[in-house]
Structure 1
Amino acid sequence: MSNAQDQSPEANAGSQDILSGLRVIDLATGLAGSAASLYLAEAGAEVLKIVRPRPDAERDAVLYRVLDRGKRRVAPNLCDAAGLAALDELLAGADVLVHDLTPSEAAGFLLADADLRQRYPSLVIASVAGWPPRHSMANEPARETLVLARLGLLDEQPGHRPGPVFIRMPFASWIASWLLAVAVMARLIARDRDGRGGVAHTSLAQAALVPMTMHWSRAERPSPAFAKGLDKSVPIPLHQCSDGRWIHVHYSPDAAPWMAQGLAEMGEAGVAHANAQWPPSHVAPNFGANKAIIATRPAQDWVEHFWAHDVAAQIAVPFGEIYADEQARQNGYVMAVDDPGLGTCWQPGPAITIDPPARVRGPLSPVAEDTMPAWNANRNTAQPAVAQPAEGSGAMAPLHGLRVLDLGAYLAGPFACMVLADLGADVIKVEPPAGDAMRRLERIFAGTQRGKRGVALKLGTPGSQPALRALVAWADVVHHNVRMPAARKLGIAPEQLRAGKPELVCAHVSSYGPAGPRADWPGFDQLMQAACGWEVECGGVGNAPMWLRFGVGDHLAALSSVFAVLLALYHRSRTGQGQAVASSLLGAMLMTAGEAVCLQDGSLTPVAQLDAEQTGLSPAHRLYRCRDGWVAVAALAAHEAQALMALSGDDPAAFLSALDVQAALAALQNAGVPGAPALEAQAQPFLDSAAHAAAGLHAHYPHAAYGNLQQIGALWDFGELPLSIDRAPPALGEHSREVLSMLGFSSQQLDELAAQGLIA
């Protein structure tokens, strides 16, 4: 492994990376905050890690050797006055504070929002607790399993048995890491505008709800398709092959020659009989027959055949196998790092492509005895002046004034642009007059489109070019996830758009990354879960693989793309230069493989595995069935696990099974064991909840077809800065004439475009 990265945080000192000169204090102990500050560090920020005790279950985890790499590390005693004074001095020279303290914990460290804002007016205060700061559970422990259990999301995941299942992948923490990084960048952009810092908060609960934007919503006048939604009983096209391995196939493989031959040999009656053994699939009309035919050949033969015929497919491989993937290595999603404890090993690399590039800054560094001299020597004394708002002006959303052209489809591209709209950008969505391909799944489509004005325009024809040019001239950012060969035919590849407007920021989301042999291949969230080992891990020991239904790869890719866009805008504000940025499903998903790294001998460091019953990872971290339901336990500290064993006589399952849920929770609470009810069927109760509404987790607006529409609400809390969550997803072509008139097209020109079928 000859391409190990720079081996100290100082190795890249002086480089003009996008965030050069930005100083970040990382006070987080959990995954989300630690990962967010890593993204900032690898974009050029100087990050100082304040090392605090982690739960015993995570203290020596390989994951934190990855997430804290390249950061200076120091361990002041924050339990005494001297330690708090040292922290105060460090914060005086910082631009950003990242922490994962609850409001009460923050107050105990003298880090309450109001106090920090008074002492450091230019400081960006970014936190990721378990629940939003205005929620009634804001001071509950930030433990993902407990948050998912209370929200009812463990019941949203299909399993190999009835009832809620333990979700092995910490998807909420990974989504929260990107939400937090996006929030920091949005606040920094607002600080450039306003001259003041402020809060940029998110939570594990808000992150967990990100995928539910596709599912948890309701309408006053729902169409049949909207009302139906997509429940967890829909069969997932994971098929076992003749060698016992499993392959995930997305969309119908019927046109591939081997499959077509197999279907013909089965005959119409045989195909119908095989299909009848399974519920209908919205992605594969011959689901059962496909399953029977795929069982006749080995997995590698099938995947190569499917790839050769443009069928999106991946083998569900063991965790860690992705580190050897050449596509991942060519895009820098896998990098060699000389870790002082593990030796040279393969770790996840930066998930985004920006210029100057994000890069690994070095391995985990030793804890410095005194970092104050080095920190103060580099201190930026030219802090932003605190601006006074104009008289009568109200607070503006973080990205107020930004113009975004959304040319994407399906999920990752449109969701990224919805996030930008939530943050205050003016977003125009362009789709074909026949509609975005996702419109047939109406509830999922609506969950990625709010905040946008909708234009129906047929791209790729001479007659639509003037409208496209006008839209691009209007925009600051053009964003899409169209495969590049198709994008070039449509005239929307970054090099085509930026040729006439070099200050433009163009963002592209691909499946496999912008380089390598699979750069232009089709791909979907499910396939990246398979490729990165998560389908195997989510199935449980000895079971068939299981797709995590929350579409996490799409959402991670979307949020990493937003982070890249905001970095590019931050850079443009300082240099005047636009650029093309890229993210991918593979890159964002591969970051989550950091729970383990590949050692020099090719072995993988151990990972905790989900049990065969899909209840958990250990007696201290799992689901337990009670007499009338389920409870989740997350006793991650040694004393908590000991308390659980003492309470239960070393048999928590027997002890808790004899109690009802309320009695079980009371017993756990009295013993000091963190627990929560694993609620079921929570879609409607969530939307009815006054506590969730008070915390901003609901959104309401009038929709052109559905009447009053309720969806998942705010993903952040920016304090005095509002979000822009007041526009429903657009109906097809709802704003075509409004937008094109704004851009200078006359009524006659619009009529001509409509007559030619170019707009709707």
Structure 2
Amino acid sequence: MSEPESVKDLVVVDLGVGMPSAIVAKFLREMGATVWRVAPPAGDPFESIYPAYTSWHSGSRMATPDHLDELLARADVCLIGGEDHPGLEWSFEGAALIAANPRLVVLQIAGYARGFEQRAAVDLLVQARVGLAFEIFSDRPVNFACPLPTYGAAIQGLLGVGAALVERERSGRGQLVETSLQQGAGMFLSCLWMSIEDTQSVNMRNPPKDVWAPIVRCADGQYVFFVPRYNGMDKVFAAFGIDKSIGDTAKKGYFGDIDLFQRYATKFTHEELLRACWAADVAAEKVLGPGECWDDEQVRVNGTIVTEVDGRRRVGTPLTMRAVQPNSGAPRTSLPSAPEDAAPLAGVRILDFGAMVAGAYGSKLLADLGADVIKVEPLAGDIMRTASYPNFVVSNQGKRSLHLDAKAPESMDVVRRLCATANAASHNFRVGSAGRIKLDPASLRGYRPDIVAVQCFSYGASGPRAMNAGLDPLMQAYCGQAVRAGGRDNAPLWYRNLYIDYATGAIGAIAMLFGIREQLCHGNAVEAETSLLEAGLFLMSELIQCADGSFSGGPPLDYDRTGFHCTECLYQTKDGWVAIAARSDDMAARLVNVLHLQGFPENSRSWGDSERQKIAERIRSRTTHELLQQLEAADVWCEKCNENGWQSLLDDPTARAANLIVETRDPNVGALITVGPLVSFSRSRLDANRPMSVPTGGVDTREILGELGYSSTEIDNLAARKVVA
């Protein structure tokens, strides 16, 4: 086994600026690509914004603009755009780059999707404008400590690049791939930004705003995050030593009576409570600060933390990929012919054996890009169908459903025939489970020698925590996300939108795309692995550890959870909230002039709590409309905090034209409005009219088995023996 040759063959020219494009370049480089970095000649201002910025670029080869044409002539991928900074003039026209280099795939990351007004591409401003900031509490916004628009744009950009490279193996041509911070935010809001006509026939369970998370403070002052599993509260009562006669506290609050649990938690140290929870089969973790888990044995086994030559440590790639050369004589896979403007993944087939969110979401993203995704479910169906229909919708739109008892001996022939027609297969089974039912990578290669097999685990494929139950909230606690979100001197805070689950699924989709390219280019099979833990660490790539052991980057929010610095912060007005991003000293000076403030230091980075309080006091005396007019006139970047992000998109023709919002008729729930594909292509077309409904369990079983060569009689016999349904 070795790294995929098709990734090591890639040449990437990085012309981007800011965090999203830097994360894309870092990801591709760590997968094995050669990255050439051409930075703005006048300097890159983001080096002073992100302590990890130089580390993100540390493995890139540096070049000057006068070598750009030569580099592009032999490049496969070019990165442009990213974030905005006042006075930075460093932009490129993607269409012109492709016209001069027809095989080039150009990724452009902007602030907003094509068709929308292109306002300042700054994560906090996008959070405010699209409504993300108002998705945790109903009465006030928060600055998401994990910059989800930025990470979402980077992930969607990687998906777009991977899909365009797969498509290029058919057409021989490159194209422009576009995504944005706005679309990146949409990726993590999919389960919240949704309209379902018939909510009575399905379980709409979804964490609400203002939810009290199951985080308790123990006798030693440490916090523990526990997750009542889907099987009720009895095990939690047992772990905490609570007599069930107290009452059915499961009915009080989304996670039960947190006040009750907190009272009992004070009887335990955090180690005692963790042992009690684990003994009672209650998933739980200590709430750790940023970087605190880096030295844990599980993280070490995964190898996610990388040490640089200068002794600094940083987060590496959240993905492991290995190429496996099939036996000689195996036929080489190629994509079937398709129209010039076909979807980029037309002709690609994916088998999805996954469940829940992290296991199923990745293949849904590939269905968005034109792949034929077959969801292979147990006869009882994916547990998310009944546990949380919104999350099931988000993770399974556009797929076909086949119900199969994979434990039945007769099912192996169905799996063998399925694999023979599929480019890739994915699952999120617990460690060891896939081997027992012959769905592990080695078994899958027995069915198809060059198949791409992607496995998503909780904590990793091996290590002391490998068998532990993994859930998004636990990873927010374990990876330091909850402490960072809580803000300075506050209790930890959990974000309700399952963003680590979505990131994990999407990283698996990236693995499938680059694995399929290896399959097409070199005829090799690919094994790939990721985990919730690795995704949770990846989503804090801003954090680095210096050689002396101290950490830099990834700071906690301020006490009010409005920002990291007073020049880039949320502020309350007389009648609402605004976001301000004064990213240069000149812009910060214009801000204080608008507010008629004096005596502020010229170096705005030295401003602290005192300056923040003065700014906040002046802003509270003005209406939102008045303040925004004044700030816009002074060229200070600002946005109104949108309290109705989803509602404001429902009837927005621009959102629909950009496929940011799609509407379909679903056979299960009627009218269904959801977030659509979050990346676009200049040449390949995403079919806006393709079915975006959710497959009824097993509805496609007969059709799929017929495609595999089974007769009607054979299908009836399989159903009678309860092998399929």
Q: Is TM > 0.5 for Structure 1 vs Structure 2?
A: yes
Offset, 1:258: 8.6
Q: Who is 2:604 aligned against?
A: none
Q: Larger deviation: 89-98 or 472-481? A: 89-98
**Could you tell me whether the CA contact under 8 Å between 1:408 and 1:482 is conserved in 2?**
yes
Offset, 1:131: 0.7
- Give me the whole-angstrom Cα distance separating, in 2, the residues matched to 1:108 and 1:611: 32
**1:171-209 deviations in whole A, cap 9, x for unaligned?**
221122121122112111111210111111111111100
Q: Secondary structure at the match of 1:484?
A: coil
Q: Who is 2:717 aligned against?
A: 752
- Give me the whole-angstrom Cα distance separating, in 2, the residues matched to 1:185 and 1:129: 19
**Could you tell me whether the CA contact under 8 Å between 2:146 and 2:485 is conserved in 1?**
yes
**1:417-473 deviations in whole A, cap 9, x for unaligned?**
001111111100011222211112111210111110011222212243332332222
**1:122-172 deviations in whole A, cap 9, x for unaligned?**
11110111111x2222x211111111111111111238xx31111111122
The 5-angstrom pairing of residues 669-680 of structure 1 reads: 669-680=632-643
Query: 5+ residue gaps in structure 2?
Result: 325-335, 598-613
Match of 2:432 among 479, 485, 510: 485
Q: Secondary structure at the match of 2:293?
A: helix
In structure 2, what residue type is equivalent to 1:407? F
Q: Alpha carbons of 1:300 and 1:602: their partners in 2 closer, same or farther (altered >3 Å)?
A: farther
Match of 2:619 among 656, 662, 667: 656
1:736 aligns with 2:698: no
- Give me the whole-angstrom Cα distance separating, in 1, the residues matched to 2:103 and 2:84: 20
**Could you tell me whether the CA contact under 8 Å between 2:352 and 2:427 is conserved in 1?**
yes
Offset, 1:256: 8.8
**1:48-92 deviations in whole A, cap 9, x for unaligned?**
11223678575263221221120012454xxxxxx5xx4334323
1:117 aligns with 2:95: no
**1:316-356 deviations in whole A, cap 9, x for unaligned?**
111111221221111110121123xxxx0221122111126
Q: Who is 1:720 aligned against?
A: 683
Match of 2:316 among 336, 349, 357: 349
- Give me the whole-angstrom Cα distance separating, in 1, the residues matched to 2:368 and 2:657: 18
**Could you tell me whether the CA contact under 8 Å between 2:81 and 2:91 is conserved in 1?**
no
In structure 1, what residue type is equivalent to 2:20? A
In structure 2, what residue type is equivalent to 1:69? S
Offset, 1:613: 1.2
- Give me the whole-angstrom Cα distance separating, in 1, the residues matched to 2:84 and 2:576: 31
1:294 aligns with 2:265: yes
**1:20-49 deviations in whole A, cap 9, x for unaligned?**
232211111111111111111122221111
- Give me the whole-angstrom Cα distance separating, in 2, the residues matched to 1:235 and 1:54: 45
**Could you tell me whether the CA contact under 8 Å between 2:360 and 2:396 is conserved in 1?**
yes
Q: Secondary structure at the match of 1:184?
A: helix
- Give me the whole-angstrom Cα distance separating, in 2, the residues matched to 1:528 and 1:219: 29
Offset, 1:416: 0.3
Offset, 1:702: 2.2
Q: Alpha carbons of 1:201 and 1:606: their partners in 2 closer, same or farther (altered >3 Å)?
A: closer
Offset, 1:102: 8.6
Match of 2:121 among 117, 134, 142: 142
Q: Who is 1:365 aligned against?
A: none
Q: Larger deviation: 512-521 or 621-630? A: 512-521
1:88 aligns with 2:66: no
**1:574-631 deviations in whole A, cap 9, x for unaligned?**
2211121111111122123332222334322354331111121222111111121111
- Give me the whole-angstrom Cα distance separating, in 2, the residues matched to 1:351 and 1:261: 33
Match of 1:407 among 337, 353, 356: 353
1:158 aligns with 2:125: no
**Could you tell me whether the CA contact under 8 Å between 1:56 and 1:636 is conserved in 2?**
no
Q: Secondary structure at the match of 2:282?
A: coil
Q: Secondary structure at the match of 1:502?
A: coil
1:306 aligns with 2:277: yes
**1:535-592 deviations in whole A, cap 9, x for unaligned?**
0110111111011222121122112212222222222222211121111111122123
Q: Secondary structure at the match of 1:446?
A: helix
- Give me the whole-angstrom Cα distance separating, in 2, the residues matched to 1:104 and 1:638: 11
**Could you tell me whether the CA contact under 8 Å between 1:502 and 1:579 is conserved in 2?**
no
The 5-angstrom pairing of residues 223-262 of structure 1 reads: 223=200, 225=202, 229-252=206-229, 259-260=237-238, 262=240
Q: Alpha carbons of 1:236 and 1:753: their partners in 2 closer, same or farther (altered >3 Å)?
A: farther
Q: Alpha carbons of 1:267 and 1:743: their partners in 2 closer, same or farther (altered >3 Å)?
A: closer
Q: Who is 1:427 aligned against?
A: 373
The 5-angstrom pairing of residues 230-629 of structure 1 reads: 230-252=207-229, 259-260=237-238, 262-263=240-241, 266-268=243-245, 270-272=246-248, 278-281=252-255, 289-307=260-278, 310-339=281-310, 344-355=311-322, 393-440=339-386, 441-605=388-552, 607-629=554-576
- Give me the whole-angstrom Cα distance separating, in 2, the residues matched to 1:451 and 1:631: 37
Offset, 1:714: 2.0
1:126 aligns with 2:107: yes
- Give me the whole-angstrom Cα distance separating, in 2, the residues matched to 1:54 and 1:150: 29
Offset, 1:213: 1.6
Offset, 1:724: 4.5
**Could you tell me whether the CA contact under 8 Å between 1:323 and 1:347 is conserved in 2?**
no
- Give me the whole-angstrom Cα distance separating, in 2, the residues matched to 1:348 and 1:17: 24
In structure 1, what residue type is equivalent to 2:539? T
TM-score (norm. length: structure 1): 0.85
In structure 2, what residue type is equivalent to 1:151? V
- Give me the whole-angstrom Cα distance separating, in 2, the residues matched to 1:467 and 1:87: 52
**1:450-500 deviations in whole A, cap 9, x for unaligned?**
110011222212243332332222222111111133223333222222234
- Give me the whole-angstrom Cα distance separating, in 2, the residues matched to 1:546 and 1:222: 29
**Could you tell me whether the CA contact under 8 Å between 1:511 and 1:584 is conserved in 2?**
yes
Q: Secondary structure at the match of 1:338?
A: coil
In structure 1, what residue type is equivalent to 2:440? A
Q: Alpha carbons of 1:174 and 1:73: their partners in 2 closer, same or farther (altered >3 Å)?
A: same
TM-score (norm. length: structure 2): 0.89
**Could you tell me whether the CA contact under 8 Å between 1:250 and 1:312 is conserved in 2?**
yes
Q: Alpha carbons of 1:492 and 1:318: their partners in 2 closer, same or farther (altered >3 Å)?
A: same
Q: Secondary structure at the match of 2:455?
A: strand
Offset, 1:104: 14
Q: Alpha carbons of 1:443 and 1:297: their partners in 2 closer, same or farther (altered >3 Å)?
A: same
Q: Who is 1:80 aligned against?
A: none
**Could you tell me whether the CA contact under 8 Å between 1:560 and 1:583 is conserved in 2?**
yes
In structure 1, what residue type is equivalent to 2:300? R
Offset, 1:310: 4.3
Q: Secondary structure at the match of 2:13?
A: strand
1:20 aligns with 2:1: no
In structure 2, what residue type is equivalent to 1:567? F
Q: Secondary structure at the match of 2:308?
A: strand
Q: Who is 1:370 aligned against?
A: none
Query: 5+ residue gaps in structure 1?
Result: 1-13, 77-82, 358-388
Q: Alpha carbons of 1:69 and 1:633: their partners in 2 closer, same or farther (altered >3 Å)?
A: same
**Could you tell me whether the CA contact under 8 Å between 2:420 and 2:447 is conserved in 1?**
no
- Give me the whole-angstrom Cα distance separating, in 2, the residues matched to 1:169 and 1:61: 14
- Give me the whole-angstrom Cα distance separating, in 2, the residues matched to 1:394 and 1:700: 26
Match of 1:692 among 655, 668, 676: 655
- Give me the whole-angstrom Cα distance separating, in 2, the residues matched to 1:110 and 1:141: 14
- Give me the whole-angstrom Cα distance separating, in 1, the residues matched to 2:169 and 2:208: 44
1:666 aligns with 2:655: no
**Could you tell me whether the CA contact under 8 Å between 1:18 and 1:356 is conserved in 2?**
no
- Percent identity over paired residues: 31
The 5-angstrom pairing of residues 639-650 of structure 1 reads: 639-650=586-597
Q: Who is 2:51 aligned against?
A: 62
Q: Secondary structure at the match of 2:155?
A: helix
- Give me the whole-angstrom Cα distance separating, in 1, the residues matched to 2:340 and 2:510: 26
Q: Who is 2:330 aligned against?
A: none
1:38 aligns with 2:12: no
Offset, 1:306: 3.2
Q: Larger deviation: 296-305 or 398-407? A: 296-305
Offset, 1:311: 3.2
Q: Alpha carbons of 1:257 and 1:93: their partners in 2 closer, same or farther (altered >3 Å)?
A: closer
Q: Alpha carbons of 1:438 and 1:323: their partners in 2 closer, same or farther (altered >3 Å)?
A: same
- Give me the whole-angstrom Cα distance separating, in 1, the residues matched to 2:430 and 2:539: 24
Q: Secondary structure at the match of 1:125?
A: strand
Q: Secondary structure at the match of 1:324?
A: coil
